[in-house]
Structure 1
Amino acid sequence: MRADAQRNRELIVAAALEVFTECGADASMDRVARTAGLSVGALYRHFPDRRALLEHIATDALSDLLAFGRAASAEQSATRWEVLVRLVAHCTVLPLAMTKSLLGDIGAHVRLAALAAESDALFEELARGAQQEGDLRGDVAPRAVIGVLNTAVCRPGARVDDPLVTVVLDGLKAR
């Protein structure tokens, strides 16, 4: 891809994140283009429709989550609980609320569904490891940990220091 085309694509994605975060996923594509400082035609040359743009954002978010999680998991000096907490913190800066809503209506987007399954497997592995190390409550199944964490971080406005995330992590921590 040419450098100017790549720059335009990046502008569109950044603008879409801003506009969709502010107005929801039904926000006008015209507004996304205006926010990016580009024509609507330029936007549609990169993304044929809103769904393609949203899927791109969701795929990027889950790919980022997985890359971060794998890198953090590879650190031998960190406990699985520490890695899990760092991964939860990282999740709060990703557009996971938008991604979660897309996954509920995913239909035929195989790559996105595969990334979601991989991220669930990563969280499950970390939860199981944290339980074995004695840092995560043993009475909560790793699959349930994923559900609880999804509720905390896959919502608009999630922040690492907000009360819901803090309470969830405190509740999962072994005493």
Structure 2
Amino acid sequence: MRADARRNRERILAAALELFAEREPCVPMEDIARAAGVGVGTLYRHFPDRAELVEEIGADALRGLNAFVRERSAGDAPRWEVLRRVVEYCAGRPFALIKKLAEDGGTGRPERRALQRECGALLAGLVADAQREGTLRRDVTPSEVVDLLGVVVCRPGARADDPLTTVMMDGLRARTPHG
């Protein structure tokens, strides 16, 4: 892809993400093109329809999350700290949109479904590591923790410091006999 075409695509994705966050995914495609500073024809050359645009936003967000989890998990930081940073990373990203895609019955592109499975496996591995480390409760399974993370961080307005996220993290933290 040519450099200018790549820049246009990135601007379209960024504009769509911003507008979707403000007004939901029903934003007219013309508004997205205008916000990106491109013509409607350019938008449609990159994304023939809204579903394709939303799918790409979801896949892009999942690629970023998977890379973030892999990168942070490769270091020596305590696993609880890595999990906390993952939750912080998720704030402000379009995970509510991705969850809505799945709930609306859309099967999605195979790439997005594969990225979601990879994400679940990476997070379950991180949770299991935190449990072995003794920093995350052992009375919930890694898949249950991943499901809980999905409920809390995959909602509109989720933030790392909001009350629901704070309560979830406090509840998952292993307690020492004196803590």
Asked whether 1:119 is paired with 2:119, we answer: yes
**Percentage identity across aligned positions?**
53
Q: Could you tell me which residue of structure 2 aligns to residue 145 of structure 1? A: 145
| Aligned equivalents of 1:146, 1:2: Cα separation in 2 | 39
| Aligned equivalents of 1:135, 1:106: Cα separation in 2 | 37
Asked whether 1:99 is paired with 2:95, we answer: no
- What is the CA distance between 1:42 and its match in structure 2? 0.9
- 5+ residue gaps, structure 2: none
Residue identity matched to 1:154 = C
Residue identity matched to 1:9 = R
TM-score of the pair, normalised by structure 1: 0.95
Q: Secondary structure, in 3 states, of the residue corresponding to 2:159?
A: coil
Residue identity matched to 1:111 = E
Number of aligned residues: 174
Contact 1:103 1:113 in 2 (8 A): no
- What is the CA distance between 1:93 and its match in structure 2? 3.1
TM-score of the pair, normalised by structure 2: 0.93
| Aligned equivalents of 2:31, 2:108: Cα separation in 1 | 27
Residues 48-87 of structure 1: CA distance to partner in whole angstroms, max 9, x if unpaired?
A: 0001101111000000000000000000x21211111111
| Aligned equivalents of 1:64, 1:155: Cα separation in 2 | 18
Contact 1:29 1:40 in 2 (8 A): yes
| Aligned equivalents of 1:150, 1:108: Cα separation in 2 | 18
Q: Could you tell me which residue of structure 1 aligns to residue 64 of structure 2? A: 64
Query: Which stretches of structure 1, 4 residues or more, deviate above 3 A after TM superposition?
Result: none
Q: Secondary structure, in 3 states, of the residue corresponding to 2:27?
A: coil
Aligned 1:136-175 pairs, distance under 5 A:
136-175=136-175
- What is the CA distance between 1:108 and its match in structure 2? 4.9
- 5+ residue gaps, structure 1: none
